[in-house]
């Protein structure tokens, strides 16, 4: 075959063969010949040998002009190699085309062998199809008359059914009236109306008259249901729809029907309030706090569903009442939120509050499906804004009340008041109320942020700001509450509550000390902990934005309670000092110092003084100054002066053991002796041995009777 191809090629003229080879190579190197750049007409470039319009003579002339003999020989060798390569490529191309030709020939032979016999099969199939068609035509022809007869009988049967329905209609309507199935009665009557209009004055005159009498009764009953207060909202709406289907002029009743619908809204609110009263009066913890999540909430859902169906029906019956229906739907949402706000005032948990919001949102979505023009989703968002804000504020109010109640429970007997344990227990309880109460509040607010409810998702940024603002205002109010409980701030109502909760001046002093310690705890422990929680959950996404900063400023609150703690501590010192001053005044105003007897022991006022002085050094100094002033107001004889000398000597002995400011205390005690000597008619002091003896006797008696207690003096 190669030899034949070569012979065929040799028979082709040389110019044609060269042209074909040139075209073949051109198509190989330039497949997109149509889009190739234009060749220069003068073939000035030696690379133009690959062009489709190659001119050998010009190419040779150009090559001879630009090349020397050595370059021409090298060019000859290169072109000979290229020609050899092209011949090889052409030979491979012929081989490939030959293989494809063989494959195509084999495919044609296979197809021919498979097609043989198919024509006969197709002819057999066509004969069978024609046979089936002819038999089908014979069957249709034979059954045509019977089919026509059957269709005629079927039409007659349907007509008889209609006639029978007309004759049975009065009885059917009577049964519907008895069972109050007015919807079925209206459907039956409307279905018979075309026959009554065509044959009601002839063939079915009696049936028509009896049916109309029944319809009159149905109209009266439907009107009664429409205006009955005992019927549900949905039942009234269904009655209105049925009356309109019976062509009753319900348009004249539009104002009265809408008034009834508005009244039903009030009944719905009343039923919900009754549920809340039952839950509030119940003492069963499992029933309290269920709110809308409890079993009575099912009745609420049914009532709201009925109200929605009434809105749907009235919208169809009264197309021009859309604005009134929108107002009623908005009133429903407003009443729900008002009821929720009432529950918030009575203290509601976050779980119950979320349950209430879910119920409201379900009602809003239900009403949106019935009356989308009301746009209750956006409307409820505006109302919910105020309700959720009030809930956040009330939560802080109740937390403040809890802390105040815990502090007002600081009630100890006068005997226990001087001891540390009752006040320590009250302090620990107050710390727990402040810190744990704040953590619980943050947890409740966190539930609001985590809730996926549509209302709360849109209010999330506001809730973050409200929580921060709430804590800032809460701690400011708490500081004011501390001042009020300490007696530094006047308030008639809260002063009265405090006087009822306290047991005397000593309890007041203990409460002030607890408040001072609690202020330090809030500054050093509570505020940093709360700040961490706020930063973790309530710091980003607020409505104020980062450019305005955070609303809760912990540094400001810490400084507030630091100053408050210092004020309360000074107030506590003043209270204790006034008590000691009162004791000293009674001591020096009661006896007649001019006629005082010779001292035999330390006076018992020193014992009371020491019992009161389980306090700070500052109180001791203030009390000694008060003692000096009271001494200056009296006149002493020798015995009175010596009694003062003995009492001061005993105080000096005990105070040195417990107070570091020894020099200041010695100075103040000496000032008392000096003042007594100046006011004495015969200032002859006792000898030191006598003083020491009398003091030792007093100490011995004190140890035996356990009258002198170790001092716990704050430095």
Q: E strands within 102-198?
A: none
pLDDT band at 34 (very low <50, low <70, confident <90, very high): very low
For 440-468, the pLDDT digits (tens) are 988 988 888 888 888 888 888 888 888 88
Q: What is the pLDDT of residue 94?
A: 85
Q: Compute the average pLDDT of residues 251-264.
A: 70
Highest mean pLDDT among 60-64, 514-518, 673-677, 702-706: 673-677
- Both 613 and 699 in a single domain? yes
Q: What was the pLDDT predicted at 299?
A: 47
> What are 53's two structure tokens?
């319009």
What's the structural domain count of the chain? 2
Runs of H (alpha helix) within 522-601: 527-537, 554-589
Identify the pLDDT of residue 608.
Answer: 62
Report residue 119 as tokens. 């024509």
Judge if 566 and 608 occupy the same domain.
Answer: no
Q: How far apart are CA 484 and CA 358, in angstroms?
A: 40
How much of the chain exceeds pLDDT 70, in percent?
74
The pTM (predicted TM-score) of the whole model is 0.52
pLDDT value at residue 19 = 62
Q: What is the pLDDT of residue 158?
A: 82
Q: Domain check: are 527 and 434 in the same one? A: yes
Contact assessment for residue 482 and residue 515, using Cβ atoms and an 8 Å cutoff: yes
Q: Kindly tell me if the per-residue pLDDT of 186 is higher than 80.
A: yes
Please indicate, yes or no, if residue 364 is contained in any of the structural domains.
Answer: no
10: in domain: no
Structure tokens at 143: 């059954």
Question: Domain check: are 530 and 609 in the same one?
Answer: no
The answer to whether residue 566 sits within a structural domain is yes
Helices within 180-296 (DSSP H only): 182-199, 205-226, 233-245, 254-281
**Sorting pLDDT into bands at 50, 70 and 90, what band is 586?**
confident
Q: Please report which confidence band the pLDDT of residue 9 belongs to, taking 50, 70 and 90 as the band edges.
A: very low
Average pLDDT over the chain, rounded to an integer: 75
Residues 635, 533, single domain; the answer is no
What does the H/E/C string look like for 651-677? Answer: HHHHHCCCCCCHHHHHHHHHHHHHHHH
| Distant-in-sequence, close-in-space partners of 359: CB < 8 Å, separation ≥ 6 | 292, 297, 300, 301, 336
Q: With a cut of 50, say whether residue 554 has pLDDT above it.
A: yes
Q: What is the DSSP string of 337-395?
A: HHHHHHHHHT---HHHHHHHHHHHHHHHHHHHHH-GGG-HHHHHHHHHHHHHHHHHHHH
Distance between start and end Cα atoms, the chain: 125
> 520 and 435 share a domain?
yes
At residue 605, the pLDDT reads 65
Same domain, 456 and 566: yes
Highest mean pLDDT among 169-183, 297-311, 421-435: 169-183
pLDDT of residue 5: 41
Rounded distance between C-alpha atoms, residue 313 and residue 463, angstroms = 39
Tokens of 286: 């499992």
The rounded distance, in Å, linking the Cα atoms of 209 and 402 is 77
Q: What band does 574 get if pLDDT is binned at 50, 70 and 90?
A: confident
pLDDT given at position 24: 59
Asked whether residue 288 is assigned to any structural domain, the reply reads: no
Q: Who wins on pLDDT, 111 or 670?
A: 670
- Provide the pLDDT for residue 550: 56
Q: 658 falls in which pLDDT band (50, 70, 90)? A: low
Residues 456 and 574 occupy one common structural domain: yes
* Residue pLDDT, tens place only, 53-102: 778 888 888 888 888 888 888 888 988 888 888 888 888 888 888 888 89
Residue 188 counted as domain residue: no
Domain carrying residue 618: 591-708
- Asked whether residue 614 falls in the same domain as residue 529, the answer is no
Interatomic CA distance for residues 204 and 192, integer angstroms: 11
Residues 535 and 395 in one domain: yes
Is the same domain home to 556 and 692? no
Burial profile 167-190: b = 16 or more Cβ within 10 angstroms, e = fewer:
eebbebbbebbeeeebeebbebbe
**pLDDT higher than threshold 70 for residue 537:** yes
């Amino acid at each position: 075959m190669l030899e034949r191809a070569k012979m065929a090629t040799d028979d082709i003229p040389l110019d044609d063969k060269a042209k074909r080879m040139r075209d073949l190579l051109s198509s190989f190197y330039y497949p997109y010949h149509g889009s190739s750049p234009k060749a220069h007409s003068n073939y000035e470039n030696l690379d133009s040998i690959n062009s489709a319009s190659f001119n050998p003579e010009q190419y040779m002339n150009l090559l001879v002009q630009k090349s020397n003999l050595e370059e021409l020989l090298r060019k000859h060798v290169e072109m000979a190699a290229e020609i050899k390569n092209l011949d090889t490529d052409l030979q491979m191309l012929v081989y490939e085309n030959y293989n494809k030709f063989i494959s195509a020939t084999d495919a044609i032979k296979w197809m021919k062998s498979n097609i043989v016999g198919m024509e006969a099969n197709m002819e057999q199939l066509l004969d069978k199809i024609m046979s089936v068609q002819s038999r089908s035509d014979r069957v249709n022809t034979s059954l045509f008359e019977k089919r026509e007869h059957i269709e005629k009988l079927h039409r007659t049967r349907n007509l008889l059914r209609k006639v029978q329905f007309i004759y049975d209609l009065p009885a059917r309507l009577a049964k519907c009236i008895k069972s109050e199935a007015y919807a079925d009665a209206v459907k039956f009557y409307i279905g018979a109306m075309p026959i009554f209009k065509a044959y009601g004055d002839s063939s079915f005159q009696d049936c028509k008259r009896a049916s109309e009498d029944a319809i009159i009764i149905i109209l009266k009953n439907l009107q009664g249901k429409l205006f009955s207060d005992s019927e549900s909202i949905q039942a009234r709406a269904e009655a209105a729809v049925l009356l309109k289907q019976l062509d009753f002029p319900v348009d004249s009743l539009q104002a009265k029907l809408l008034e009834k619908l508005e009244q039903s809204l009030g009944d719905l609110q009343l039923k919900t309030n009754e549920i809340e009263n039952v839950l509030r009066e119940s003492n069963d913890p499992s029933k309290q706090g269920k709110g809308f999540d409890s079993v009575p909430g099912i009745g609420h859902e049914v009532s709201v569903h009925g109200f929605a169906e009434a809105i749907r029906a009235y919208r169809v019956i009264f197309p021009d009442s859309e604005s009134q229906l929108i107002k009623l739907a908005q009133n429903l949402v407003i009443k729900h939120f008002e009821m929720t706000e009432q529950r918030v005032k009575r203290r509601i948990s976050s779980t119950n509050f979320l349950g209430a919001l879910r119920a409201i949102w379900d009602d809003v979505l239900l009403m949106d499906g019935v009356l989308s023009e009301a746009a209750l989703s956006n409307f409820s968002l505006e109302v919910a804004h105020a309700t959720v804000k009030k809930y956040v504020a009330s939560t802080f109010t109740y937390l403040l009340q809890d802390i105040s109640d815990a502090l007002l429970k600081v009630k100890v007997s006068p005997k226990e008041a001087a001891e540390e344990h009752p006040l320590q227990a009250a302090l620990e309880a107050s710390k727990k109320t402040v810190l744990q109460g704040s953590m619980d509040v943050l947890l409740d607010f966190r539930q609001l942020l985590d809730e996926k409810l549509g209302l709360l998702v849109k209010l999330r940024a506001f809730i973050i700001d409200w929580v921060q603002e709430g804590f800032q205002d809460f701690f400011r109010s708490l500081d004011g509450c501390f001042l009020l409980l300490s007696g530094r701030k006047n308030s008639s109502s809260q002063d009265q509550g405090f006087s009822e909760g306290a047991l005397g001046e000593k309890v007041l002093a203990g409460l002030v000390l607890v408040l001072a310690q609690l202020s330090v705890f809030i500054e050093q422990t509570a505020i940093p902990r709360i700040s961490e929680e706020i930063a973790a959950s309530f710091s980003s996404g607020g409505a104020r934005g980062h450019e305005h900063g955070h609303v809760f400023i912990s540094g400001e609150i810490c400084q507030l309670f630091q100053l408050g703690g210092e004020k309360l501590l000074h107030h506590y010192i003043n209270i204790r000092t006034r008590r000691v001053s009162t004791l000293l005044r009674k001591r020096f105003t009661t006896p007649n110092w001019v006629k005082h007897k010779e001292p035999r022991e330390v006076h018992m006022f020193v014992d009371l003084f020491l019992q009161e002085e389980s306090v700070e050094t500052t109180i001791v100094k203030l009390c000694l100054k008060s003692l000096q002033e009271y001494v200056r107001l009296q006149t002493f004889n020798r015995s009175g002066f010596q009694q003062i000398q003995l009492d001061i000597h005993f105080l000096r002995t005990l105070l040195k053991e417990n107070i570091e400011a020894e020099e200041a205390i010695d100075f103040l005690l000496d000032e008392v002796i000096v003042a007594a000597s100046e006011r004495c008619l015969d200032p002859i002091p006792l000898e030191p041995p006598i003083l020491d003896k009398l003091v030792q006797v007093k100490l011995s008696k004190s140890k035996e009777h356990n009258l002198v207690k170790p001092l716990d003096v704050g430095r």
